[in-house]
Amino acid sequence: MYPCNSIKANYNVSEGIEIVYKQLFDHYGPQNWWPADSQIEVIIGAILTQAVNWSNVEKAISNLKEANLVNLKKLKEVKEKRLAELIKPSGYYNMKAKKLKSFVSYLDDNYDLNLNKFNKGKPETIRKKLIDIYGIGPETADSIMLYAFNQSKFVIDTYTKRIISRIGYTSEDVSYDKLKALFEKNLENDAKLFNEYHSLLVKHAKEHCLKSSPLCIKCPLNKII
């Protein structure tokens, strides 16, 4: 049992979820995530970060910037093979190049490469359209919704599952939708809050709540009584 499991013993889910956020924010401060200069850069990053560390994604995006390809029209025109070469640091580069081209093609065919046109209507409809595009699953779709479109969709990843399961509010093999609902039902429906909370969970998982050897003694969540 992890020491942070005491949070579950002392607080119900709604209280605990809020307290964890406040404690992490007090400890780490604002994360200013997602680090990008434009919506399309966020979307590129969300696709490239699948199954790879962010540092590798940064290298790939840097390559795209040097080639002046963080641009929808340029991404449409570039050859898939050339795109794959540029994003090689992100891993699975051939597949990810195909995913990027698929997204751009969909946007071109249906919305004249206009992200504002795409991001109109009910959030659930927009999210479904994203998931229907090749290479975009629930986590990537929610990352785009939250960080590119400023829609209040909570992003679930392995870091989130690890922390919340160690606290005891769920199991680590919990479904994506179930854990997403847990956060969205117990927090104010606020995109800024969701953004900051998810970023803090990622930070905490990397700093203290490590996969194999968690640093429980120094964990800021152990200060919660």
Query: Do residues 127 and 118 lie in contact, with contact meaning Cβ atoms separated by under 8 Å?
Result: no
The reported pTM is 0.96
Q: How confident is the model at residue 225 (pLDDT cuts 50, 70, 90)?
A: low
Residue in 5, 78, 88 with CA at minimum distance from that of residue 48: 88
pLDDT of res. 1: 82
Q: Give residue limits of the domains in the chain.
A: 3-32+154-223, 39-148
On the question of pLDDT at 223 being above 90, the answer is no
Q: Span 198-220, mean pLDDT?
A: 96
Q: How confident is the model at residue 224 (pLDDT cuts 50, 70, 90)?
A: confident
| Percentage of the residues of the chain whose pLDDT score is greater than 90 | 97
- DSSP secondary structure of 22-50: HHHHHHH-----S--SSHHHHHHHHHHTT
Q: Span 77-96, mean pLDDT?
A: 98
Query: Do residues 142 and 155 lie in contact, with contact meaning Cβ atoms separated by under 8 Å?
Result: yes
| Percentage of the residues of the chain whose pLDDT score is greater than 70 | 100
Tokens 């699948």 locate to 50
Give the model confidence (pLDDT) of 116-163 as tens digits: 999 999 999 999 999 999 999 999 999 999 999 999 999 999 999 999
As a whole number, the mean pLDDT across the chain is 96
pLDDT of res. 221: 95
> How is domain 3-32+154-223 classified at the CATH fold level?
Endonuclease Iii, domain 2 (1.10.1670)
- CATH homologous superfamily for the domain 39-148: Hypothetical protein; domain 2 (1.10.340.30)
